[in-house]
Amino acid sequence: MEIAVIADLHGNYEAFKACVSYLANRSIEAILFLGDYVGEFGFPQQTMALLKQLDESYTCHWIKGNKEDYWLKQQASSEALWKEYDSTTGSLYYTYHQLTPDDLAFFASLPITRDVHFPGYPPITLCHGSPLKVNQPLLINDEDTQRILASCPGDLIVCGHTHIQQVITGNNRRAINPGSIGVPLYSQQKTQFMILHGEEGQWREEFISLNYAMELEIERLSQSGLSLYAPYWTKTTIQILRHGNDSHARVLSLAMAYCEQERGECIWPFIPEIYWERAYRELYEKK
């Protein structure tokens, strides 16, 4: 038995296509999707269409990530939570306004965690961050992570959110992160996911890393207008794709620190572009 595990697509269509093409040549019986389906990349409806195709071709099990919570929060709000042409929230604004009512209804139907059972094998707990909170990362050498592992009724959790392929062990249990399809970290410019092999009543992980048309996906960022909607956020996305050893959070934190130094306080999402530019140049253009 082979089960694919996919997390953190973030709308990277070219990476997702490479993953789907690879899976077509494997004996995949089901796919576990761990959330964060769109965001960061252009033309999200192409990713949504491919997700729907997979749902028709495979047995798929879905949960939502923190990105899905963002879209649903905006849907429920009477106010615009984000603005265009803004590095802090421009990609959120762009993606949300590309989603359809059916997309939002699908996201609203998803739980933050679920247990999946395959006959003859131990149950698998699906979550994006942790089983307790959608944006709580499971981390190596972390006390909270160890407590969560100890309290999990099963012995296997599959999780996303950190964008790093890894296995965390504790209390005779494992939490396995398949890495990110869309914005993988420390991946040598490859898209990443995982296949679980059912063998003699147990699950064995196989981490997959694939080359894909990364430069074409970067070109699509410009074609979609995202480089205008979220200038320095998108520049950071490109840096992560090409080098893979940094994160949006690092640039955001530095931009907020510069803002606080000059203004006395900085409250997300009110971060002027001047501080995004300064943070980006400090991190990437002085190397």
Q: For the sheet containing 191-199, what is the strand order?
A: 59-62, 28-33, 2-6, 191-199, 202-210
Answer whether residue 179 is part of any domain.
yes
Residue 225 within any structural domain of the chain: no
Task: State whether 178 and 274 are in the same domain.
Answer: no
Q: For residues 47 and 189, state if they share a domain.
A: yes
Residues 28 and 135 in one domain: yes
Residue 215 included in any domain:
no
**Residue 91 placed within a domain:** yes
Q: What per-residue confidence (pLDDT) applies to 157?
A: 97
Same domain, 115 and 206: yes
CA distance 235 to 227: 7
Q: Are residues 41 and 182 in the same domain?
A: yes
Q: For residue 286, what pLDDT is reported?
A: 74
Q: What is the mean pLDDT of each run of 10 residues along the chain (287 residues)?
A: 97 98 96 97 98 97 98 97 97 98 98 96 97 96 94 93 96 95 95 97 97 97 95 96 90 97 96 97 85
Q: Are residues 161 and 269 in the same domain?
A: no
What's the pLDDT at 246? Answer: 83
Residue 233 lies in a domain: no
Containing domain of residue 253, as a range?
Answer: 247-285
The whole model's pTM is what?
Answer: 0.96
Last residue of a domain, one of 182, 210, 238: 210
Residues 168 and 98 in one domain: yes
Together in a domain, 35 and 120: yes
Strand partners, 205: 196
* Residues 63 and 189 both lie in one domain: yes
Residues 195 and 271 reside in one and the same domain: no
220 within domain boundaries: no
- Alpha carbon distance 70, 11 (integer Å): 15
Residue 80 lies in a domain: yes
Do residues 186 and 271 both lie within one domain? no
- Residue 78, domain member (yes or no): yes
Q: Kindly report the CA angle at 36 between 34 and 42, in degrees rounded to 5?
A: 140
Q: Give the type of residue at 52.
A: K
CATH number, domain of 196, equals: 3.60.21.10
Number of domains the chain contains: 2
Judge if 272 and 130 occupy the same domain: no
